[in-house]
Amino acid sequence: MNYYLSSYKFGNKVDELAKMLPKGARIGHINNSKDWTTASPEIRAKHLKEEMDFLDSLGFQNEHLDLKDYFGKKDTLSKKLSELDGIWLAGGHTFILRMAMRLSGFDDIYLQELRYRKNFFWGGYSAGVCILCDSLKYISNVDMPNDFPYRQMQENIWEGLGLFDYGILPHYDSDHHESEMIGKEVQRCIDNGWLFKVMRDGDVWILEETEV
Which pLDDT score is estimated for 150? 96
CATH class of the domain comprising 2-166+202-211: alpha beta
Least confident of 30-39, 122-131, 196-205: 30-39
Give strand ranges (E) for 35-166: 61-64, 86-89, 121-125
Residue 115 has pLDDT above 90, yes or no: yes
Mean pLDDT of 137-160: 94
pTM score, whole prediction: 0.95
pLDDT tier, 212 (very low <50, low <70, confident <90, very high otherwise):
low
CB under 8 Å, gap of 24 or more: what pairs does 77-84 form? 77/104, 77/105, 77/106, 77/109, 78/105, 78/109, 78/113, 80/28, 81/28, 81/109, 81/114, 83/26, 84/26, 84/27, 84/28
132: region left, alpha or beta (phi > 0 left; psi from -120 to 50 alpha): alpha
Which pLDDT score is estimated for 39? 86
Give 7-56 pLDDT, tens digit per residue: 999 999 999 999 999 999 999 999 999 999 988 889 999 999 999 999 99
